A and B are shown apart, each in its own frame.
Chain A
């Protein structure tokens, strides 16, 4: 049963702490993406990766870091440098480029206290 998973669904952290959000896919997709959604906003791209060991900054990469050591995994670290980290984070994957259908995970809601 193929899909994309994100864990945890809800995450609480104290201000100043780094936190890593998990994203795993078993769809054999080359491309993976991280988005952030704030209330009343569209999706904004944080980072994307087209192949293993390669990734590019999206529109709002400051304060975030990623790695792509395996095809299946694309974890996102929200660092203490991110000024407003509280948001809903979505991971997605696709075959080839983003003009193809992107499959999204269920999302992680991060709240920084």
Chain B
């Protein structure tokens, strides 16, 4: 049973426009949410995170929004660039002593020039 769901396997946007990647979760015990970006045949790289006590975190072109009542978060990339083309993973951390992340299946973003 997927506790972290990325319902869109792929997304295609035009260069310069906004990319919105979505993530839904089921467990209200998650206390941190993280986004990672992954290129083929490489390890993921950390992008941005948000604590469950916040509703927005911004870092340059990347903004993550958290809606706790809807158990939904989204990553906005503005403006999108061709180099942003990658697979984006949403991950959630369970509060307490459980030292692990629960990962979504990823969304493949293609930014077209």
Contacts of B36 in A (CB 8 A): 102
CB distance from A61 to the nearest CB of B (A): 12
Q: Which of B42, B45, B93 contacts A97 (CB 8 A)?
A: B93
Q: Is A41 an interface residue (CB 8 A)?
A: yes
| B57-93 at interface with A (beta carbon < 8 Å) | 89, 91, 93
Query: Within 8 Å CB of A31, what residues of B?
Result: 99
**A-contact 0/1 string along B27-61, CB 8 Å cutoff:** 00001101010000111111001000000000000
CB–CB A42/B89 < 8 A? yes
Task: Please report the C-alpha to C-alpha distance between residue A41 and residue B100 in the assembled complex, in whole angstroms.
Answer: 17
Q: Does A101 touch B at the CB level, under 8 Å? A: yes
Shortest Cβ distance from B104 into chain A, in angstroms? 6
Check if B99 sits within 8 Å of A98, measured CB to CB: yes
Q: With A97-B99, A99-B31, A99-B32 known to touch, is A106 a contact of B42 (CB < 8 Å)? A: yes
Q: How far is the CA of A59 from the CA of B43 in the complex (A)?
A: 19
Cα separation A88 to B87 with both chains bound (whole Å): 15
Identify whether the interface residues of B are mostly helix, strand, loop, or mixed: strand
Q: Smallest Cβ distance from A21 to chain B, in angstroms?
A: 13
- Whether A45 contacts B105 by the Cβ 8 Å rule is no
Contact indicator A104/B45 (Cβ below 8 Å): yes
B94 shortest CB reach to chain A, Å: 9
A43 and B62 CA atoms in complex are apart in Å by 22
With a cutoff of 8 Å between Cβ atoms, the chain B residues found around residue A41 in the complex are 105
Tell me whether B43 and A105 are in contact (CB under 8 A).
yes
Q: Does B103 contact A (CB under 8 A)?
A: yes
- Report chain A residues within 8 Å CB of B11: none
- Say yes or no: is A48 at the interface (Cβ < 8 Å to chain B): yes
CB pair B105 A42 closer than 8 Å: yes
In angstroms, Cα B40 to Cα A109, docked, is 12
Contacting pair A43 B41 (CB below 8 A)? no
A4 to B104, CA, bound (A): 23
Q: Could you list which residues of chain B lie within 8 angstroms of chain A, going by C-beta atoms? A: 4, 9, 31-32, 34, 36, 41-46, 49, 89, 91, 93, 99-101, 103-106
